[in-house]
Chains A and B, each alone.
Chain A
Amino acid sequence: MLAGVLSTSTLDLLAYAPPGWGATLLAGLWNSLLIALGAYALGLTIGIAGAYGKLYGSPLTKDLLAIYTTVVRAVPELVLILILYFAVTDALNKLVIALGGAGFEISGVAAGIAVLGVVQGAYATEVLRGAIQAVPNGQVEAARAMGMPGMQIAKRIVLPLMLAFAIPGMSNLWLIVTKDTALLAVVGFAELTQATRQAASTTKAFFTFYAAAGLLYLMVSIISTLMFSRIEKWARRGQRRTGD
């Protein structure tokens, strides 16, 4: 029976231990998640600083941040990855060698986190800027009127309140970064898509492996969505559902 034959060979191909490719795929998934988490954390950090800079920074800070968010959001991620991975590391290498140091090779994980983090940071800056502005002024004014210092107002009043407005945008950014890790396949980094490509071209079982990879991405997305909806529920504590 055709179906029976297909499913046995599919299971063999996806088996964890060699000659199955399961371990390769899961290692790729692990690398993808590692890069996504690192880039997201970096992006969030840049985003918080960038949002405050855009809102309350000096004119120069605001201009620099405007250039950053405009350029990074305009240039395709793929191009940015190629620029950083090849052009920037090359330039850095030449510089280090010229200064008498030893040449180095940038690790795929570090490069991936750096590039995607910088891209995420530009989008996060805009998401968080909007969220901070959505916090009703009265909430901040009450804190000012009671003599709360500015840093404490940011930490204890504005950040928790803006979270509710930021979560939808920030959960989008997380889903985007998990999929953007696939772009690192072009520099040969063994994340999930690259691992899948390797398995598929070796075995010629293209459909099986790309479908398996698709399923893994889907699972990541479903689990993350569930987690974000929990976080959002927590962030909206104290808010009436209608929100008038």
Chain B
Amino acid sequence: MIQQGNDGDQRPVAIKVTGLRKTFGTHEVLKGVDLTAREGDVVAIIGGSGSGKSTMLRCINFLETPTAGTIEIGGEAVRMKPDGSPADRRQIERLRQSLGMVFQSFNLWTHKNIIENLIEVPVQVMKCPKPEAEARARKLLARVGLAEKEGAFPEFMSGGQQQRAAIARALCMEPRAMLFDEPTSALDPELVGEVLQVIRGLADEGRTMVLVTHEMKFAREVASHVIYLVNGVIEEEGPPDQLFGNPRSERLKQFLKTVS
């Protein structure tokens, strides 16, 4: 493993993953991986298909149950049973509210219009007063360029619009960090730009994010740290200019050649 640390960094740690392992049946997808995202970091996870990058992201908010390892959100360790499953359902639910997840397939609720999608969790789960949640939602929709779409149903919008709305929905919980799971992979090529532009805006305002992506150029531009995964192991990690400009590992060199 080739690594450049940023020791001496005093910013608080938003997400810390240590020794994470995940086994599906007999197949070990993650073989002990680490990740640290301090406040304001943009960590990009790249790698080929089946490298475990999505699983790694999904373990952070326990959509997948880790087999072993520790996860800390904002300095709070997730309490786990010996088998890795969460010991405290309420703790998981609370921590999930501080992690805004954006999926490849948007997953907006199809029976709710856009503003209902945005205020659902703030109002129903986090008990935020409805007018306040709606005001916040409208601000966010304006920000992602969907001010006039608040009454629209998701299935009647383009993929790019749906994904921007999904990002606004995650932001509406006012999360500590954002998790992006290949947010542009399901989009038609001409719609990728509008979504990346929104994510770039979030990076520019110093949001903490972990981003699984196939968009190498984008990762290089917005990431503060890049992790390259191969078969569930971190093959190489470091600042983007280092990884993309001067990769040390042969596999990464090959990978960058095939994807560019």
Check if A147 sits within 8 Å of B93, measured CB to CB: yes
A146 and B155 in contact (CB under 8 A), knowing A141-B103, A237-B111? no
Name the one of A146, A156, A157 contacting B96, with C-beta atoms under 8 angstroms.
A146
The residue of chain A having its C-beta at the shortest distance from the C-beta of B116 within the complex is A238
| Residues of the B chain whose Cβ atoms lie less than 8 Å from the Cβ of A141 | 63, 103, 107
Task: Choose one: B61, B107, B155; the contact of A240 (CB below 8 Å).
Answer: B155
Report the minimal beta-carbon distance from A45 to chain B, rounded to whole angstroms: 22
A152 cross-chain contacts in B, Cβ below 8 A: 124-125
Could you say which residues of chain B place their CB within 8 Å of the CB of A138?
Answer: 103, 105-107
Contact of B105 with A238 in the complex, beta carbons under 8 Å? no
Contact A142 B155 (CB under 8 A): no
Q: Is B153 close to A, CB under 8 A?
A: yes
Q: Is B94 an interface residue (CB 8 A)?
A: yes
**A139 and B110 contacting across the interface, CB-CB below 8 Å:** yes
Partner of B111, one of A144, A149, A160: A160
CB of B154 closer than 8 Å to a CB of A: yes
Assembly CA distance A160 to B120 (angstroms): 14
Given contacts A141-B103, A142-B108, contact A238 B154 (CB under 8 A): yes
What is the bound-complex CA distance between A147 and B120, given in angstroms? 11
Residues of chain B at the chain A interface (Cβ within 8 Å)? 61, 63, 89, 92-97, 99-101, 103, 105-113, 120-121, 124-125, 153-156, 170, 173
Contact between A237 and B103, CB atoms less than 8 A apart: no
Enumerate chain A residues within 8 angstroms of B61, measured Cβ to Cβ. Answer: 145
- The 18 listed contacts between A and B (C-beta, < 8 Å) are A138-B103, A138-B106, A139-B109, A141-B63, A142-B108, A144-B63, A144-B96, A145-B96, A146-B100, A147-B92, A148-B93, A148-B124, A149-B125, A161-B111, A237-B111, A238-B111, A238-B155, A239-B155
**Shortest distance between the CB of B86 and any CB in chain A (Å):** 12
Bound Cα distance A211, B150 (Å): 54
Chain B CB within 10 A, most for which of A141, A147, A149, A157: A147
Q: Is the CB of A238 within 8 A of B125?
A: no
For the complex, give the distance between the alpha carbons of A153 and B106 in Å.
Answer: 17
Residue from B63, B120, B153 within 8 A of A238 (CB atoms): B153
User: B154 contacts which chain A residues (CB < 8 A)?
Assistant: 238
Of B108, B121, B153, the contact of A237 (CB 8 Å cutoff): B153
A238 touches B97 (CB 8 A): no
Set B89, B97, B111, B113: member contacting A146, Cβ < 8 A: B97
Question: Judging by beta carbons under 8 Å apart, are A240 and B125 in contact?
Answer: no
Count how many chain A residues have C-beta atoms less than 8 Å from C-beta atoms of the other chain: 20
CB distance from B191 to the nearest CB of A (A): 17
Query: In chain A, what residue has the closest Cβ to B122?
Result: A146
CB atoms of A146 and B125 under 8 A apart: yes
State A109–B125 Cα separation when bound (angstroms). Answer: 42
- Which residue of chain A lies nearest to B96 when distances are taken between CB atoms in the complex? A147
What distance in Å separates the Cβ of B76 from its nearest Cβ neighbour in chain A? 14
Residue of A nearest to B106 (CB): A138
- Which B residues touch A156, using CB under 8 A? 120, 124
CB-nearest residue of chain B to A137:
B107
Interchain CA distance A237-B151 in the complex, whole Å: 12
A152 to B107: give the CA distance in the assembly, Å.
Answer: 17
Judging by beta carbons under 8 Å apart, are B110 and A238 in contact? yes
Name 14 extra pairs, CB < 8 A, besides A145-B99, A147-B96, A148-B93.
Answer: A138-B103, A139-B109, A141-B103, A143-B121, A144-B63, A145-B61, A146-B97, A147-B93, A157-B109, A161-B110, A238-B113, A238-B153, A238-B154, A238-B156
- Expressed in whole angstroms, the Cα–Cα distance for A157 and B117 within the complex equals 11
Closest B residue to A145 by beta carbon equals B101
Q: A-B pairs with the 4 shortest C-beta distances?
A: A147-B96, A238-B153, A142-B107, A138-B107
Expressed in whole angstroms, the Cα–Cα distance for A143 and B110 within the complex equals 12
* Cα of A144 to Cα of B170 in the assembled complex, Å: 12
Task: Assess the B94–A145 pair: CB atoms within 8 A.
Answer: no
| Pair B110/A239 contact, Cβ less than 8 Å | yes
**B126 and chain A: residue at smallest CB distance:** A147
B107 lies within 8 A of A139 (CB): yes
B109 touches A147 (CB 8 A): no
Contacts of B92 in A (CB 8 A): 147
Interface-centre pick from A138, A144, A238, A240 (highest chain B CB count, 10 A): A238
Contacts of B125 in A (CB 8 A): 146-149, 152
Query: A142 near B153 (CB under 8 angstroms)?
Result: no
Is B96 in contact with A142, judged by CB distance below 8 angstroms? no
Measured between C-beta atoms, what is the minimum distance from B213 to chain A in Å?
Answer: 18
Query: Cβ of A238 and Cβ of B112 under 8 Å apart?
Result: yes
A13–B224 alpha-carbon span in the complex (Å): 89
